[in-house]
Structure 1
Amino acid sequence: MRGATILARLPAKSAQDPVLEAANRFAECGDVARVKELIEPLLKLSKKRFFFNLVLKAYANAGDLVGAEAWHLRMEREQVVASGRTYGKLLKCAAKANEARRAELWLWAALRVGFAVDGTQLVSLVDAFARSNDPRRADAWLARMLLVTRGSRGLRGPSGSRDVGARGPELAAQGASLAGWAHVGDLRQSALAATCFSRRQWGNLLEACAKASDAAKASQCFQSGLDAKLKPCSMTYTSLIDAYGRSGEGGQAEKQVLAMIRAGVQLEGIVGTALLNAWAKLEMQRTEAWMKRFHRAQVPLDAIAHTTFISACAAVGDGSRSAFVSTRAEGSLQEMERRGMQTNASG
């Protein structure tokens, strides 16, 4: 029997069996149905925890927390003892589902029964709280994580377990924490004082500067990234341009767009939106000139860019130029309709 053959190979050769290899590939893709199709026949022969954990892996990668917790209840009903990997997959699933508090509960559940928590699981928890707009709690777990990864002892359950000393996840967790603060537009001096950060952290810091309308700190952060030999991309330039625009520095925003062009960085619609938004508050003629240039360069402007331009046109006073600008506004509105954009978008 095929199932008996697989069971005979476990656990030493489990990863090498074609059926289990296929199940693992489907689990990586979050295809729960296909994994269950392969694993259910094996569960009729043996209630091995390895099989249950494969299905949990699929649920975790799919971000299906309800399904994962239901599967865990089945494990309990069938008296299958959970492992550290079991709890890790439940934690990961909750984090991916943006259920940060549930992820935290699964972490504590693992600790209560004596399993050590590793850096990867803590990264998931930090990321979950960051994406849930709770950067303070993300930072609290980041601090615990640093104790785990830098200290001589790991974060352990009551029965004790192996130490955790991996330093690798630190940057990922710090990047997740910074992303949380960036999302709420909160700048932290400790983060800005850093002289070495990853590309992701650089982008997060610049985003935070933009949302805080702090062009001076955005410029400082941008230069720090260049000093660290990081290569700016469209998104980093966009955050810098947005920071200048929100601060009313249209000239500096324009200077960065020209720097992008010289550097060969592709202009994207979001860049055009940031620059148009900057000039729309300051000078209609400049706004119109850039609108024309973006059209000639076939930069795919979004609805916000078009409505920003239309709003700027509406703000122009009476006179001959007003009639000309009104025509340009109508042309922009027609372009939005032609491309199927919502015409009630707001900048």
Structure 2
Amino acid sequence: MSRTYLDFNATAPLLPEARAAMLAAMELCGNPSSVHAEGRAAKAAVERARAQVAAGVGCKPQEVVFTGGATEAALVLAAGAVVEPTAHDALWAHHASEGRIYAMGLANSETGVIADAPGEKPCELLLLDVTQSVGRIPFAFGWSGADLAILSAHKLGGPKGVGALIVREGVDIAPLLKGGGQEMGRRSGTENVIGIAGFGAAVEAAMRRLETGAWQPVAAARDKLEAMVADAAPEAIFVGQEARRLPNTSCFAAPGWKGETQVMSMDLAGFAISAGSACSSGKVKESRVLRAMGYDEATARSAIRVSLGPDTTEDDIARFAEAWAAQYKRYKARVA
């Protein structure tokens, strides 16, 4: 059976540019902290990637701190923060009634809904989770009003296990990891040179895709998908359809038909989709995000997320909609 991947918000396929950069970095044997030629070569690869990430995120290179991923970058909230209720679990895990930092997602991973940054900061510092945003919608840290931002390489076509914390120049934070003082003392531990090289190349390639309009046809395909689903299930609920959304994300519910059951049914039919955030997959529970948005329990338990990429074809969309409609018809017959 051929497979169709429609789960880009969980992880995007590795971009060729990222793969090539990683293969080149594998030839570098030096430690980036070493002063000899081999060490300097590894350090140069890290700094090249830092410049690439900075250019893509719209910040200064010295504001980029490489981490093991967005979840590790979110450890900047470890002392407690006021977190937006619809934020990703990596942020929500640090929620407290008060804190120095207000944390929120710029674009929600489950619904694709794009949020507006608060006009006035509720706390001293503002942190934006831009994990789903960079490379898909225009964003620049410099004009965002944020003091901190987090992102992850694998969401935009880079390798898994590497990300970044962006710290506005002049903002003082406690080290994420203490030790040898790498990453300007903010995240100790020998840098993941291979992953970082892939991260930088992926950001650069993703920004080229954005600038050349690669996501505009994706938005049209997403809308076509939702129209076909609505034809098959007029009672379907589309989350955030009237709001600003990421161009690739559709979250919808057929009340009563559990999301995890839909995911398994579609997997057997050859389609990879999600029910909620990938970090919560496999857990039989309602979506915290949808409940925070005001949806009832039945809707929150029945929602699925279909997230497309620039390589998703109209045929992929049509076949998915046909397969989903067939499975939904079977479900309706069983419960009739």
Q: TM-score, normalised by structure 1?
A: 0.24
More helix by share: 1
Higher relative contact order (CA 8 A, sep 6+): 2
More strand by share: 2
For the pair shown, which has the larger CA radius of gyration, 1 or 2? 1
Q: TM-score, normalised by structure 2?
A: 0.25
